Amino acid sequence: MAFSETVKHEIMVKSARHCCVCHRSKGLNIEVHHITPKGQGGDDSADNAIALCFDHHADAGHYFAGHPKGSKLSPAELKKHKESWFSLVSQHKIENPKIASVEISIMNKDYPGFFSPVFIRETTIYTDRNSMRKMFEFMGKNPDSYVEEFKARFPQNDIYGKHKMSKIKTYDDLMEYFNGDMEKEDREKPNTDPQPHKFELSPFMREYKVINKSNCVLYLKLTNGDKDVLEDYKLYLNFENVIEADSVTKRSKFFDDYKYSYNVFFPENNRGEFIPARPVLVQNDSVTLDAICFRPDPKAKFVNLNWELFARGVFGSGTIRINIKSSFEQHIRERHVEPSEIKPKFIRILPKWNFE
């Protein structure tokens, strides 16, 4: 467990987002730290929490009484720093950030209150690869002759090129072909790009768009409901229960015009930063965030979008709960293996990657 949002918020406000040790105002570069480490019995209460800059967070991070150098910040020292700094702040010597009254709303057209991504549930069935061989032998036929028979009967199976088909010489080759091992290297790699829009060029050089249904596209609006103007504001987004999230228009394969049109930057899979082009948002004004694409965890019933807003003298945070109703398409995959390799029926959930 970590500190609750309430505890973090309390500490951030009481310290006015300054480091309790060096008293520097570090803005975003402040962390709430355990005074007594968890490993030494410290809890997640506000009593055991202190705001530290990254430098002092590192200095306090690995304290233990038996440390050979003994120069780390001890829990007792940290407590004193915290008490004296909180008292300075409470005497109004330091200005507390105000709580922003901003609203973040989902702007998707025809949004039914949930997203319904589609995933592929792949079931692998293992069968004895020699069963067909035994059948042929029982019928008095040479199993390898079935290979030629198969090739003659199903020339349309040669979708991966003639050379693949010509590679099939023996019964075992055919089993590998059935298993999909032969064409594996030629097949398109599963798409791990969370973005739903994939730009491709048709033979007629026209752009077209294809959608990956395991992705959800979110349109957000940030509204300033405050009587104050938000200056130098930044919005930080953190998605929970997602495999990945990204800006829709971030990358484009062929058109550089699209390349930098996004305004939410995702430095990590689930963490985005919205830094507006115009750093001022007046009262009752709103700004639209870039379309965000996220792929939920297939098991997730909801995705939490935690947001934090920082502006000059103002701080705000909240969570938007996005309901998820996933559905699954069944794909059955058969693998012809030696009896020793036979495993129980194995189900694997894949994100949908074949585009429509």
Stretch that binds Zn ion, among 2-10, 12-20, 230-238, 310-318 (CB under 5 A): 12-20
Q: Which of 12, 21, 245, 314 binds Zn ion (CB under 5 A)?
A: 21
Angstrom distances, CA of residue 126 to CA of 79, 181, 338, 340, 346: 62, 14, 9, 11, 9
Strand bridging mode 314-324 / 114-115: parallel
Determine the Cα–Cα distance for residues 141 and 139; give it in Å rounded to an integer: 6
Degrees (nearest 5) of the Cα angle 255, 260, 262?
A: 115
Contact between residue 231 and residue 279 where contact means Cβ atoms under 8 Å apart: yes
Contacts with Zn ion in 223-282 (CB under 5 A)?
Answer: none
Instruction: Tell whether the torsion through CA atoms of 256, 261, 263 and 264 is positive or negative.
Output: negative
Closest C-alpha among 231, 241, 222 to residue 317:
222
**Minimum gap (Å) between residue 250 Cβ and Zn ion:** 35
For residue 15, what is the DSSP state? T
Beta bridge partner(s), residue 336: 127
**Minimum gap (Å) between residue 85 Cβ and Zn ion:** 10
Contact between residue 289 and residue 263 where contact means Cβ atoms under 8 Å apart: yes
For residue 234, what is the DSSP state? E
Contact between residue 242 and residue 322 where contact means Cβ atoms under 8 Å apart: no
**Minimum gap (Å) between residue 21 Cβ and Zn ion:** 5
- Residue number with CB closer to Zn ion (21 or 230): 21
Closest C-alpha among 300, 306, 315, 302 to residue 272:
306
Closest C-alpha among 77, 18, 24, 15 to residue 46:
15
- Residue number with CB closer to Zn ion (21 or 222): 21
**Minimum gap (Å) between residue 74 Cβ and Zn ion:** 16
Q: Based on the shown chain and the rule CB under 5 A, indicate whether residue 7 belongs to the binding site for Zn ion.
A: no
CA atoms within 13 A on the CB side of 89: 24
- Residue number with CB closer to Zn ion (53 or 147): 53
**Minimum gap (Å) between residue 30 Cβ and Zn ion:** 9
Stretch that binds Zn ion, among 11-19, 138-146, 232-240, 274-282 (CB under 5 A): 11-19
Q: Based on the shown chain and the rule CB under 5 A, indicate whether residue 32 belongs to the binding site for Zn ion.
A: no
Beta bridge partner(s), residue 53: 30
Contacts with Zn ion in 85-114 (CB under 5 A)?
Answer: none
**Minimum gap (Å) between residue 94 Cβ and Zn ion:** 15
- Residue number with CB closer to Zn ion (82 or 250): 82
**Angle between helical axes of 143-153 and 131-138 (0-180°, round to 10):** 100
Q: Which of 14, 33, 56, 336 binds Zn ion (CB under 5 A)?
A: 56
- Residue number with CB closer to Zn ion (56 or 295): 56
Q: Which of 11, 19, 49, 248 binds Zn ion (CB under 5 A)?
A: 19
**Minimum gap (Å) between residue 112 Cβ and Zn ion:** 48
Site map (CB under 5 A) of Zn ion, residues 34-53, x = contact: -------------------x
- Residue number with CB closer to Zn ion (78 or 311): 78
Total residues contacting Zn ion by CB under 5 A comes to: 5
Binding site for Zn ion (CB under 5 A): 19, 21-22, 53, 56
